[in-house]
Structure 1
Amino acid sequence: MTASGDHRQQVISPDKAVVLDDWIVARGLYPPGQVRLSATIWFAGGSGAGTDHRGPVIMGSTMYDTSYLTKDGSGNATQKQVTRVGPGWQVYRTLDRSTYVTATQHRETEYSLHNDGTLYRRNVTYKNGVASRQITGWQSGYRGVKAMTLISQTATYDTFLMTLTSGKLYTARLPLAGGHIIPGVVKQVRNGTWQGFESLVSAPCGFDTLLLGIDRDTGSAYLYDVGHANGAATPIRMIGKMPGTYKDPVYFHFQGDTNEHPSGD
Structure 2
Amino acid sequence: MSLKRVSALIAAALVAGAVATPASAAPTVAAWASADPCAMYVGAFDAAGNSGGVEVVATKPPTGKPGSKVKVFPVKESAVWYVSALTGSSWSYGKVISGTGLYAAQISWDGVEPEPEVTSRRLGGGWDRFTQIEESQTGYLQRTRYFYGLRDDGVLFRWNLDGFKALGSYPGFGAVKTMTMISGTGTYDTLLATTRGGALYTIRIPTTSPMKPIVKQVRAQGWGSFDSLVAVKCGRQSTLLTAVDHDTDAAYLYAVGHATGLTTPIQNLGKIPTPFPGVTHHAVAGETDDLFGE
Q: Which runs of 5+ in 2 are unaligned?
A: 1-44
Q: Letter of the aligned partner of 1:97 in structure 2?
A: E
Inter-CA distance 7–233: structure 2 relative to 1 (3 Å threshold): same
Q: Any idea what SS the aligned residue of 1:230 has?
A: coil
Q: Alignment partner for residue 161 of structure 2, among 119, 124, 129? A: 124
CA 1:36–1:52 in 2, change beyond 3 Å: closer, same or farther? same
Q: Note if 1:218 corresponds to 2:248.
A: yes
Distance, in Å, in 1 between the alignment partners of 2:253 and 2:75 is 25
Cα distance between partner residues in 1 of 2:113 and 2:183: 33
**65-74 or 141-150: which moved more?**
65-74
Q: Which has the higher contact order (CA 8 A, sep 6+)?
A: 2
Counterparts of 2:111 and 2:92, CA distance in 1: 14
Q: What is the TM-score when the length of structure 2 is the normalising length?
A: 0.79
- Asked if 1:200 is matched to 2:229, the reply is yes
**In 2, distance between residues paired with 1:222 and 1:2?**
19
Q: State the partner residue of 2:70.
A: 27
| Structure 1 SS opposite 2:244 | strand
* Amino acid aligned to 1:19: T
Q: 1:251 aligns with which of 281, 287, 290?
A: 281
Give 1:4's match in structure 2, choosing from 39, 48, 51: 48
**Which residue in 1 is equivalent to 2:30?**
none
Unaligned 5+ runs, structure 1? 126-131
**Structure with greater helix percent:** 2
Candidates 214, 224, 232, aligned match of 2:262:
232
What is the identity, as a one-letter code, of the residue corresponding to 1:37? E
Of stretches 116-125 and 65-74 in structure 1, the one that deviates more from structure 2 is: 65-74
Report if aligned partners of 1:56, 1:64 keep a CA contact under 8 Å in 2. Answer: yes
- Among 144, 148, 151, which residue is 1:114 paired with? 151
Change (3 A) 1:17 1:149: farther
Q: What whole-Å deviation, never above 9, does each CA across 1:223-244 have from its counterpart, x for those lacking one?
A: 1111010010001110001113
Once the two structures are TM-superposed, the CA of residue 52 in structure 1 deviates from its matched residue by 2.9
Aligned match of 1:153: 184
- Alignment partner, residue 172 of structure 1: 203
Q: Sequence identity of aligned pairs in percent?
A: 33
Larger % of strand: which?
A: 1
Over the aligned positions, Cα root-mean-square deviation in angstroms equals 2.1
- TM-score scaled by structure 1? 0.87
> Hey, which bits of structure 1, 4+ residues long, moved more than 6 A?
none
Displacement of 1:72 in angstroms is: 4.2
**Offset from partner CA, 1:88-130 (integer Å, 9 cap, x none):** 1111100111132177x243311110111111011112xxxxx
1:139 corresponds, among 166, 170, 175, to 170
Answer whether contact 1:217 1:247 (CA < 8 A) is retained.
Answer: no
Contact 1:63/1:86, CA 8 A, preserved across alignment: yes
Deviation at 1:49, TM superposition (A): 5.9
Deviation of 1:187 (Å): 0.4
SS at match of 1:101: coil
